[in-house]
């Protein structure tokens, strides 16, 4: 069952039934000011950091789901309704929500009145702009009462939910004209405040929540709205809100635009006040003035659209396969930008409070957007590397506001360092900017021990070889990519965190075959980079280690039919035919087949076949099999999940592309493509009632074959799945891959694909690539011509000339 449809030309998903199986959300803003918005206008806003600068309040895990947001109430006689259906849930004559690229438009119609709401954060603006357009489609003059609504959060989203004995006494507001200012704690250490404005004179306002709703009323029946008049309440403590009251009269056919701005301001210490206790409103007024008419708002939306036109013009495909094209051209790239902005912090599954930016996550996210915003990728790489320790280990997370490593989590995840090589080399291949390697980058944010970024890569590489276990495989530490395989945790206490507890480390023999495979893949990238930059000796040294690792994997990491996953604390095999449960895992088989380890001896083929036989199901490739049916203290969190969910045999979508890429390395385009489609949201639109999450973005997890409800997805939006699928489909299936010296063309497609076209902007030129497959092969480039001339290799040279170039590729 579907709840809407794609509008590819408008780059929108159009939801036509507000009762989606879960709130289907969108993100506004892509730089400093952000909002989450559901298809019924639920959600919240924050500046940079969802924990420390939360602007509006959100209640998680609420009943009903998704209560609270930016709401408009329309009182028309005795009827009260909202354009987004919620919170009033009054039946609408029509409803539509269009989620687009960083904007959302929700339109409701009731009794001949149409209310269209547009929400977006204009570029370079610290505010969410809301345009409400009311139209009278009847032949009578209509008088409407409009109430806006936003609820202030008392800044720190964590203490906002904890410390009521203080919070209920601190709330402060100011109202001037049509603007409501939220200034809680501004008197003391905050130099920032928030505001909510409308571009016309108001007939009243409310800033005290209890006055507005009545203590025992929900969002669906605010007392003030039911009574049809504002009370001009001023909040002193308790729970400050912002609501404007407007009276609108519309003649037959008439339309009126109202523009609301929900913004954030920072002042300098000396310029905080206008007069005693009166905040300096200058900056707020400047922003409000930028959007005080509908045409100004429309122009800003146009700028945003142009911005996205540009971003999405860098890689476009025309394959004739609609569902593929819309993912590659629009939604997958869009989701990559969102994961770049938020890492794993703020979604409808992540509170924005618990987690900052992940070290491994942010590096992996980078491969999905580096082509769009290379400058910001550069900055991101430096930020991430700055939280590394001198020995190459890393803080697992850092806070976006202060860019410092997060002490609560610490480090010890032994895969983390290698991802920095992926992030950095991806950036250089895209841009050709080797100068980033010379940047002086601190360790643990301490500039006095700064070294070049290249040195950071060296210590990353060395961190693996300096931490090898008894088989010569990398020690796993707290966990590798799989946060939940906690081989040194041994927890019997439910109050301990699996991921930060290591009750046993002394004498641990816990090793990771996944990190071993990762080390081979990115070790080779490191070697290539050394050679490119004239570091021959270092390249030789690194090669020896990589070759040794390959030998070690074949010797100690191969289980006969597939690659082992790990050795546990005691040195026992994990992911082996000898295990009763968890005989085979996806991660090590992904990384070792991507590395092509033992492909000559048939190891990769065997491993990929085993994955197909034991892990594949109709919803994707599950993480492990058989699922763990009991708690294994020596494995940790992975065995805490019920079977089929999350890391315990769920389809953990992030790692499915590793197998897709492994299949392309082995030349099986057909299989890679089948795996791609199984988890690709646009192909799942028809089963939305089962899949549950948005059909336009990837989710972290789809319940696996052993689960109670296979096929049901969770944790949409913020997942490395976005970047990895984009990377797998564009670089390995479609096979258009940036290299240091040019654009590498190396497709691996289903044999029955006849042709496709890709336009790729790369290093200052525009390549129009046409791939044809007359011999019905899966892989193998027979001929490449550039601007009519046949070239000798499959690397399209750089022109850096701002011109268009025609590339014709014949497979065979
Ligand atoms: C989840 C992981 C997630 C981790 C982050 C775990 O409980 O299963 O997927 O990465 O929490 O803290
Ligand atoms: C989500 C985390 O963000 C990521 O870092 C981790 O690799 C996966 N879960 C798998 O556990």
Distance 484 CA to ligand 1 centre (A): 7
User: Mean per-residue pLDDT for 728-756?
Assistant: 98
Q: Pocket of ligand 1, candidates 355, 409, 415, 483: which has the most ligand atoms within 8 Å of its Cβ, to mutate? A: 483
Largest CA distance in the chain: 84
CB 483 near ligand 2, within 6 Å? yes
Distance 710 CA to ligand 2 centre (A): 21
- Which residues form ligand 1's pocket by a CB distance below 6 Å? 483-484, 499, 646-647
Confidence tier at 15 by pLDDT (50, 70, 90): very high
Q: Which two tokens stand for residue 417?
A: 């360092």
Question: What is the average pLDDT score of the chain?
Answer: 97
Task: Check pLDDT > 90 for residue 520.
Answer: yes
Specify the residue for token string 């701005």.
261
Spatial strand order in the sheet of 755-762: 315-318, 755-762, 765-772, 804-811, 781-786, 789-791
Report the alpha-carbon distance of residue 231 to residue 400 in Å, rounded: 40
Q: Pocket of ligand 1, candidates 345, 410, 484: which has the most ligand atoms within 8 Å of its Cβ, to mutate? A: 484
3-state SS class at 703 = coil
Assess contact for 127 and 31: CB atoms under 8 A: no
3-state SS class at 286 = helix
User: Mean per-residue pLDDT for 228-233?
Assistant: 98
Measuring from atom 9 of ligand 2, which residue has the nearest CA?
483
Distance 481 CA to ligand 2 centre (A): 6
User: Mean per-residue pLDDT for 531-547?
Assistant: 98
Q: What is the pLDDT of residue 634?
A: 98
User: Mean per-residue pLDDT for 12-24?
Assistant: 98
Measuring from atom 10 of ligand 2, which residue has the nearest CA?
482
Assess contact for 628 and 639: CB atoms under 8 A: yes
User: Mean per-residue pLDDT for 450-463?
Assistant: 98
User: Mean per-residue pLDDT for 425-446?
Assistant: 97
Q: What ligand is nearest to the CA atom of residue 480?
A: 2
Q: Of 353-362, 476-485, 626-635, which gets the smallest average pLDDT?
A: 353-362
Q: What is the pLDDT of residue 539?
A: 98
User: Mean per-residue pLDDT for 316-339?
Assistant: 97
Active site residue 483: yes
Distance 397 CA to ligand 2 centre (A): 12
Q: What is the pLDDT of residue 406?
A: 87
Whole-model pTM: value is: 0.97
CB 479 near ligand 2, within 6 Å? no
User: Mean per-residue pLDDT for 377-386?
Assistant: 97
Report the alpha-carbon distance of residue 746 to residue 731 in Å, rounded: 8
Sorted by sequence, the CB contacts under 8 Å of residue 140 that are 6+ apart come out as 252
Q: Which atom of ligand 2 is nearest to the CA of 647?
A: 11
Confidence tier at 356 by pLDDT (50, 70, 90): confident
* Element (DSSP H or E) covering residue 166: helix 164-167
Distance 510 CA to ligand 2 centre (A): 19
Distance 728 CA to ligand 2 centre (A): 18
Provide the 10 A C-beta neighbour count for residue 764: 12
Q: What is the pLDDT of residue 587?
A: 98
Report the alpha-carbon distance of residue 513 to residue 534 in Å, rounded: 31
CB 794 near ligand 2, within 6 Å? no
Q: What is the pLDDT of residue 408?
A: 85
User: Mean per-residue pLDDT for 254-270?
Assistant: 98
Assess contact for 651 and 620: CB atoms under 8 A: yes
Cα–Cα nearest to 716, from 397, 422, 334, 311: 334
Calculate ∠ Cα 701-621-566, nearest 5°: 95
Structure-derived torsion over alpha carbons of residues 442, 486, 421, 354, reported in degrees to the nearest 10: -60
Assess contact for 86 and 13: CB atoms under 8 A: no
Report the alpha-carbon distance of residue 540 to residue 530 in Å, rounded: 9
Q: Which two tokens stand for residue 687?
A: 């089963």
Q: Which atom of ligand 2 is nearest to the CA of 344?
A: 3
Task: Check pLDDT > 80 for residue 685.
Answer: yes
Confidence tier at 760 by pLDDT (50, 70, 90): very high
Task: Check pLDDT > 90 for residue 409.
Answer: no
Q: What is the pLDDT of residue 574?
A: 98
Sorted by sequence, the CB contacts under 8 Å of residue 303 that are 6+ apart come out as 122, 123
Report the alpha-carbon distance of residue 465 to residue 207 in Å, rounded: 60
Task: Check pLDDT > 80 for residue 355.
Answer: no
Q: What is the pLDDT of residue 769?
A: 98
The string of pLDDT tens digits covering residues 60-75 is 999 999 999 999 999 9
The string of pLDDT tens digits covering residues 129-149 is 999 999 999 999 999 999 999
CA distances from 714 to 21, 22, 285 (A): 11, 10, 41
Which of 361, 483, 525, 616 is flagged as catalytic? 483
């Amino acid at each position: 069952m579907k709840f809407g449809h794609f509008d590819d030309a408008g780059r929108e998903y159009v939801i036509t039934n507000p009762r989606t199986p879960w709130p289907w959300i969108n993100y506004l803003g892509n730089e400093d000011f952000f909002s989450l918005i559901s298809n019924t206008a639920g959600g919240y806003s924050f500046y940079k950091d969802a924990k420390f600068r939360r602007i509006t309040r959100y209640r998680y895990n609420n009943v009903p789901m998704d209560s609270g947001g930016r709401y408009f109430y329309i009182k028309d006689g005795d009827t009260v309704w909202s354009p987004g259906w919620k919170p009033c849930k009054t039946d609408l004559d029509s409803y539509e929500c269009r989620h687009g690229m960083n904007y959302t438009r929700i339109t409701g119609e009731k009794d001949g009145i149409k209310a269209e709401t547009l929400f977006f954060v204009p570029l370079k603006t610290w505010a969410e702009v809301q345009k409400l357009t009311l139209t009278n489609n009847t032949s009578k003059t209509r008088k409407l009462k409009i109430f806006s609504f936003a609820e202030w959060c008392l800044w720190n989203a964590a203490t906002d939910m904890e410390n009521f004995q203080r919070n209920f006494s601190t709330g402060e507001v100011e109202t001037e004209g049509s603007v409501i200012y939220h200034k809680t704690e501004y008197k003391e250490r905050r130099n920032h405040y928030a505001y909510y404005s409308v571009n016309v004179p108001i007939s009243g306002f409310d800033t005290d929540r209890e006055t507005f709703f009545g203590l025992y009323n929900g969002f669906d029946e605010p007392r003030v709205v039911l009574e049809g008049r504002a009370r001009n309440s001023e909040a002193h403590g308790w729970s400050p809100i912002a609501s404007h009251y407007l009276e609108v009269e519309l003649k037959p056919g008439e339309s009126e635009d109202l523009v609301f701005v929900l913004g954030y301001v920072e002042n300098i210490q000396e310029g905080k006040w206008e007069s005693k206790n009166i905040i300096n409103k200058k900056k707020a007024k400047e922003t409000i003035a930028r959007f005080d008419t509908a045409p100004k708002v429309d122009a800003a939306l146009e700028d945003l659209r142009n911005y996205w036109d540009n971003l999405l013009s860098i890689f476009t495909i025309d394959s004739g396969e609609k569902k593929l094209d819309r993912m590659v051209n629009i939604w997958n790239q869009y989701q990559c930008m969102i994961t770049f902005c938020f890492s794993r912090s703020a979604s409808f599954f992540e509170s924005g409070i618990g987690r900052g930016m992940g070290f491994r996550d942010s590096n992996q996210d980078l491969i999905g957007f580096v082509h769009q915003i290379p400058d910001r990728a550069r900055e991101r790489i430096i930020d991430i590397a700055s939280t590394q320790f001198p020995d190459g280990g890393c803080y697992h997370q850092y806070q976006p506001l202060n860019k410092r490593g997060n002490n609560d989590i610490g480090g010890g995840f032994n895969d983390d360092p290698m991802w920095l090589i992926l992030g950095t080399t991806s950036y250089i291949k895209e841009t050709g900017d080797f100068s980033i390697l010379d940047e002086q980058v601190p360790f643990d944010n301490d500039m006095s021990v700064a070294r070049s970024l290249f040195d950071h890569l060296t210590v990353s590489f060395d961190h693996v070889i300096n931490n090898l276990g008894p088989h010569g495989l990398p020690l796993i530490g707290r966990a590798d990519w799989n946060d939940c395989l906690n081989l040194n945790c041994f927890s019997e206490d439910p109050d301990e965190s699996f991921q930060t507890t290591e009750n046993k480390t002394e004498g641990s023999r816990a090793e990771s075959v996944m990190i071993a495979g990762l080390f081979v893949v990115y070790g080779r990238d490191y070697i290539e980079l050394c050679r490119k930059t004239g570091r021959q000796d270092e390249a030789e040294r690194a090669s020896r280690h990589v070759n040794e690792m390959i030998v070690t994997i074949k010797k100690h990491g191969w289980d006969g039919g597939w690659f082992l996953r790990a050795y546990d604390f005691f040195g026992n095999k994990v992911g082996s035919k000898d295990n009763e449960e968890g005989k085979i895992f996806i991660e090590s088989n992904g990384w070792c087949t991507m590395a092509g380890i033992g492909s000559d001896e048939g190891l990769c083929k065997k491993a990929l076949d085993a994955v197909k036989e034991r892990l594949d199901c109709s919803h994707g490739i599950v993480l492990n099999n058989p699922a763990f049916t009991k708690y294994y203290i020596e494995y940790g969190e992975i065995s805490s999940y019920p079977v089929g969910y999350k890391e315990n045999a769920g389809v953990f979508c992030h790692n499915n592309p590793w197998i897709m890429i492994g299949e392309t390395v082995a030349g099986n385009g057909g299989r890679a493509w089948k795996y791609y489609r199984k988890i690709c949201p646009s192909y799942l639109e028809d089963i939305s009632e089962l899949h549950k999450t948005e059909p336009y973005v990837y989710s972290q997890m789809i319940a696996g074959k052993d689960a109670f409800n296979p096929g049901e997805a969770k944790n949409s939006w913020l997942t490395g799945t976005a970047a990895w699928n984009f990377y797998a489909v564009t670089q390995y299936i479609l096979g258009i891959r940036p290299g240091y010296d040019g654009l590498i063309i190396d497709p691996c497609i289903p044999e029955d694909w006849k042709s496709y076209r890709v336009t790729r902007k790369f290093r200052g030129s525009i390549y129009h690539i046409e791939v044809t497959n007359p011999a019905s092969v899966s892989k193998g480039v027979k001929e490449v011509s550039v601007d009519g001339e046949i070239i000798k290799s499959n690397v399209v040279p750089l022109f850096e000339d701002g011109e268009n170039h025609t590339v014709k590729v014949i497979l065979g």
